[in-house]
Amino acid sequence: MPTFTVGEAAELLAVSPDTVRRWMDAGQIPAARTAGGRRRVDGAALARFAVERAVNPSSPPVAESARNHFRGLVTKVTKDKVMAQVEIQAGPYRVVSLMSREAADELKLAPGVLAVASVKSTNVVVEVPQPEESP
């Protein structure tokens, strides 16, 4: 299962890193420490928190263009023999995509996985960003 830094969690939740730290200190977001003392958040736990927090978003949606990219966490994947329904929590926004089961399996989509929903008209395409290489 992927884990996220405080900064990455803050970006995904559309808040400051200090806010994420306060939520961690209050026990609202569970975090583990690395050997170096840095906090990391389990992707599935962050996805659950994002869904709970999105019930009452703190700010209203902003008008956006017809082509949007929503970076967020997969919160639910429902599969049958042919199709899959993937739910992504991107800040206060819940994005749902229908795709083939084969595509969902190839992308290894599961709760807690970082994903990007690309929206154009009524079609939602889900991408998984490649890990950044260290210098």
pLDDT tens per residue across span 14-28: 888 999 999 999 999
Q: Do residues 112 and 42 lie in contact, with contact meaning Cβ atoms separated by under 8 Å?
A: yes
- Distance from C-alpha of 18 to C-alpha of 73, rounded to nearest angstrom: 20
Amino acid at 116: V
- CA separation for the pair 107, 87 (Å, rounded): 14
Domain residue limits at 40? 3-54
Same-domain pairing of 48 and 79: no
pTM to 2 decimal places: 0.57
- Is residue 92 in some structural domain? yes
- For residue range 77-132, list pLDDT tens digits in order: 999 999 999 999 998 889 999 999 999 999 999 999 999 888 776 667 788 887 77
Q: Same structural domain for residues 72 and 121?
A: yes
Last residue of a domain, one of 54, 78, 97: 54
Are both 16 and 50 inside the same structural domain? yes
Do 79 and 103 share a domain, yes or no? yes
Confidence class for position 59, pLDDT limits 50, 70, 90: very low
Domain boundary among 18, 33, 54: 54
CATH of the domain at 81: 2.40.50.100
Residue 31 falls within a domain, yes or no? yes
On whether the CB atoms of residues 124 and 97 are closer than 8 A, the answer is: yes
Residue 134 covered by a domain: no
Number of domains the chain is built from: 2
Q: Which two tokens stand for residue 65?
A: 């263009």
